[in-house]
Chain A
Amino acid sequence: MIKINIQKKLNSTAGKMLLDFQTEIEQGQFVTIYGKSGAGKTSTLRILAGLLKPDFGRISIHGNVLLDFSQKINLPPQKRKIGFVFQDYALFPNMTIFENLSFALHKNQSKKILDELIEIMEIGALKNQKPDRLSGGQQQRVAVARALVQKPELLLLDEPLSALDEEMRNKIQKYILQVHREFNLTTILISHDLAEVLKMSDQVLVLEEGKIIRSGNPISIFSENKKDERFYISGEIVRLEKRDSILVLTILIGKDIAKMEVNGTENNTLNLGDKVVITSSNFNPIIKKAPMM
């Protein structure tokens, strides 16, 4: 069980804000912190890692106290047994991939773990390359592998997938889930991508202005207001044509474009560039299996 209770005054772009973060995480859980930028997500992770000092609080992992203001305990990052994957990956440019990984070994640790991680993350072919020769996705895999060399009790991922394209992102998500299970990790991931949160996490913490406003399993959290069992798709109007009393809307949904016709007299408030919600009832929709990609 990981117990976190931290407070810190933050100066964000939106002004001053109090980060007040309290939660308990079961061993083995995959938790995402979801929220807008500036909500305090990265600060929370940095405080957990020991890279940022909070104003007050207590953190313990499986009974080991990492931080306790009342007892004046504040372990440095080196002693926290936490793996951290940085947003910019932070691979050491002067070392090859293999050197990056073996640098992470602690004294007297067997090198067996390196081979194991290289195999799982499928980075064997890159072993002798320097990081600047690798693509974003490859660097990402190395960064995750490096964070796991010391077999941390907790793995922290600071929005590591945001710079990748969708295909690569799906791939890395698989790798991360795989190591999460195989190493029996407790993982905290920062994300602002809803699909990612739904796919990856057992538990989601929604952070807004430094406070957890909702927490629980992702499906229940994000369908909380949907008791009428309809479903909603959100998109943006990119083209608008009037034909007699009919309005032809071209709507961008994710990366797809959909053309829809609506009654023009009833929908005369819609404008170009509007963000819209398309609602459909749950009764008898057409659902087909997607072709294999």
Chain B
Amino acid sequence: MNWEPLFLTFKLAFITTIILLLVSIPLSYWLAFSKSKIKPIIETLVSMPLVLPPTVLGFYLLIAFSPSNSFGKWLDEWLGLRLVFSFEGLVFASVIYSLPFMVHPIQSGFSNLSKSLLEASYMLGKSKSITLVKVLLPNIKSSLLTGIVLAFAHTIGEFGVVLMIGGNMPGVTKVASIAIYDEVESLNYAAANSYSLILFALTFSILLLVYMVNGGYLKRFWK
């Protein structure tokens, strides 16, 4: 069995999750506490990947990043970035596609905190960034964990958007979900089954772990 698609899947999910975490903390903070008029528009944009067929997203990204278009050309010439049919392109598309899965839990974590925690920290002379790191984030640990795991698992489960923008290049963009499709197409059910089984078992264990941690089962167990 070829392990490459599985390795690629987890590499993609790992990098995507890290980028998403860095992007989503400030974005969720803004969404939770801002009173700006453009907030509903940003909220809608963040949630779009939930309802939009992944192929729509993949299609537009493909058009935008194609080197035959001006934006794609600019990226190619100035930054040396070719985002179609490349691993970087997959990461970019995955970040957009899994954004709501990271943003929503963190945003609701922030919103559910009592506002007086934030204000108490300000009254003690602490800046917004210190308040975020020392007071807010430690108190939404379970939301962060939920966001990380959902984004990770969702990236593993990607298919449409990956196929559109990444294609099916072994070792570069051929992730496990596409490999399964590929094997089924060529009637190689045994290989498809082993990929599927591994994905099933791994995602099951990851989600189980989260529910156990967030439900406090592990704490009870340790005691």
Contact of A106 with B by CB under 8 A = yes
CA–CA, A93 and B139, complex, Å: 7
Name the segment of B74-82, B121-129, B167-175 touching the other chain. Answer: B121-129
B4-42, CB under 8 A of A: which get 1 and which 0?
000000000000000000000000000000000000000
Q: Are B125 and A84 in contact (CB under 8 A)?
A: no
Q: Are A51 and B119 in contact (CB under 8 A)?
A: yes
Q: Are B124 and A103 in contact (CB under 8 A)?
A: yes
Q: Are B124 and A90 in contact (CB under 8 A)?
A: no
CA–CA, A87 and B120, complex, Å: 11
* In the complex, chain A residues whose CB is within 8 Å of the CB of B122: 50-51, 76-78
Nearest-neighbor residue (CB-CB) of B135 within chain A: A92
Q: Given contacts A90-B116, A103-B134, is CB(A84)–CB(B123) below 8 Å?
A: yes
A71-104, CB under 8 A of B: which get 1 and which 0?
0000011110011101110111110000000011
Contact of B205 with A by CB under 8 A = no
Q: Given contacts A78-B125, A78-B127, A150-B125, is CB(A90)–CB(B139) below 8 Å?
A: no
Measured CB to CB, the residues of A under 8 A from B are 49-51, 76-79, 82-84, 86-88, 90-94, 103-104, 106, 146-147, 149-150
CA–CA, A34 and B30, complex, Å: 37
- Nearest-neighbour CB distance to chain B for A92, whole angstroms, equals 5
Contact of B138 with A by CB under 8 A = yes
Q: Are B126 and A78 in contact (CB under 8 A)?
A: yes
Q: Are B114 and A104 in contact (CB under 8 A)?
A: no
Most buried by A among B116, B121, B123, B125: B123
* In the complex, chain B residues whose CB is within 8 Å of the CB of A51: 119, 122-123
- Nearest-neighbour CB distance to chain A for B196, whole angstroms, equals 41
Q: Are A83 and B139 in contact (CB under 8 A)?
A: no
Query: Closest 4 CB pairs between A and B?
Result: A90-B120, A90-B116, A94-B138, A77-B122
Q: Are A147 and B123 in contact (CB under 8 A)?
A: yes
CA–CA, A84 and B116, complex, Å: 10
Q: Given contacts A86-B116, A103-B134, is CB(A92)–CB(B139) below 8 Å?
A: yes
Measured CB to CB, the residues of B under 8 A from A are 114, 116-117, 119-127, 134-135, 138-139
* In the complex, chain A residues whose CB is within 8 Å of the CB of B114: 88, 90
Q: Are B138 and A77 in contact (CB under 8 A)?
A: no
Q: Are B138 and A88 in contact (CB under 8 A)?
A: no
- Nearest-neighbour CB distance to chain A for B127, whole angstroms, equals 7
Q: Are B117 and A149 in contact (CB under 8 A)?
A: no
* In the complex, chain B residues whose CB is within 8 Å of the CB of A106: 125
Q: Given contacts A92-B135, A94-B135, A103-B134, is CB(A83)–CB(B123) below 8 Å?
A: yes
- Nearest-neighbour CB distance to chain B for A62, whole angstroms, equals 18
Q: Given contacts A92-B135, A94-B138, A94-B139, is CB(A150)–CB(B124) below 8 Å?
A: yes
Nearest-neighbor residue (CB-CB) of A87 within chain B: B116
* In the complex, chain B residues whose CB is within 8 Å of the CB of A78: 122-123, 125-127
Q: List 18 A-B contacts (CB under 8 A).
A: A49-B119, A77-B119, A77-B122, A78-B123, A83-B123, A84-B123, A86-B116, A90-B114, A90-B116, A90-B117, A90-B119, A92-B120, A92-B121, A94-B135, A94-B139, A103-B124, A104-B124, A146-B124
- Nearest-neighbour CB distance to chain B for A276, whole angstroms, equals 39
* In the complex, chain A residues whose CB is within 8 Å of the CB of B125: 78-79, 106, 150
Most buried by A among B116, B120, B121, B134: B120
Additional 9 contacts, C-beta under 8 A, given A79-B125, A93-B139, A94-B138: A49-B123, A51-B119, A51-B122, A83-B123, A86-B120, A90-B120, A146-B124, A150-B124, A150-B125
CA–CA, A146 and B126, complex, Å: 13
CA–CA, A104 and B138, complex, Å: 17
CA–CA, A74 and B125, complex, Å: 15
Q: Are A84 and B119 in contact (CB under 8 A)?
A: yes
CA–CA, A218 and B219, complex, Å: 53
